Amino acid sequence: MSRLTEDLEFMEMAYSLAEKARGRTSPNPCVGAVVVKAGRIVGWGYHQEAGQPHAEIVALERAGLRSRGATLYLTLEPCVHWGRTPPCVDRLLTAGLSRVVVSSYDPNPQVNKKGVARLHRAGIKVETGLLGHLNLKLNEAYIKYIASRIPFVTLKAALSLDGKMAAASGDSRWISGPESRYFAQNLRAEHDAILVGINTILKDDPELTLRLEETAGKKWHRAVLDTYLQLPTEARLLKKSAGGRVIIFTGKESPEGRAARLRQKGAEIIRVPAAGGKLDLRAVLKELGRREIASVLVEGGAGVLTSFIQQRLADKVYFFLAPRFIGGEKSPTPFEGRGMETVAGSLELKKLRHFSLRNDIIVEGYF
């Protein structure tokens, strides 16, 4: 087996480990590590959640003395600063490694290229860039958040083939099939927060929960855009205490009495600027970022989705296309308002991917 083939194989294993923690490490990245000596794996690990040991530390502890003279395969550059855990690069320097293969530099300004430089100065052979494109996908939310402190925004909607999110009556259960709804639950689990508008709460009274057994113990937040504080104190999402807090964004003029009653129910009330009955979404995202919420799944409704698209605040979209025709001029679509003046000036999704789940087609794309 050639050196390159071996490197690819072990780095792919490191990424497989990193994937295990998808949705659980925020605001930290997902990272995997493999220690190899004489062609055999002697240590492995991944970062399980913020505050827990980083991937390379877990792998080196498992390898023990066998790390001397070994190669470490690491999906992301080792940190050089104190955070919730000590600098990982210090542990690497005492492990006796002969070589370190790093897939990607850490975009965190506190770390970027500094970890690799420390290893070089210590005389350890370091190679970078192998399968770096995998990190761009795996840690896309972290990459945006660590640079801007603004969460990565994903839009999600179930649509009929004629682009409708619901019938004119408002009924939308269920446009997509059970397999798509299961996939949507996994999408929720990969994000730090779910965001909806008040009309979705008033119409459907959703719990906005994670219902998969494998997501037990995950912390997440449920955010509601509610300019005038119309959220009923008996709403179902206020009765579910599991996970993170309910965050209600409202205008600065909404009644303080209602805010106090919602706080008594455990909700956090955040006042942001509003104009024309609509909240300042940039201010909303900044407030989420201040709370170390690195990724947000926006589930609608139509007005909320339209605002994110119009204001160019969305990074990614998932559309679930079901083999149905709903029709109706008043049936909502994910992009309403005035729309674009010309086709040439329309928004075009990039890096498209699509796949089928039974009868539905899932379209993934980036703005």
**Cross-strand partners of 194:** 222, 297
Query: One of 12, 56, 214, 256 is an active-site residue; which one?
Result: 56
* Exposure string over 134-149, b if 16+ CB within 10 A, otherwise e: bbeebbbbbbbbbeee
Residue with tokens 């990039």: 350
56 is catalytic: yes
**Cross-strand partners of 73:** 34, 101
Cβ pair 235, 201 in contact under 8 A: yes
- Pair type for strands 125-128 and 71-76: unpaired
- Pair type for strands 295-298 and 193-197: parallel
Which residues lie below 8 Å from residue 320, measured CB to CB, with a gap of 6+? 156, 157, 158, 159, 175, 176, 180, 183, 184, 360, 361, 362
Three-state DSSP state, 6: helix
Residues designated as active site: 56
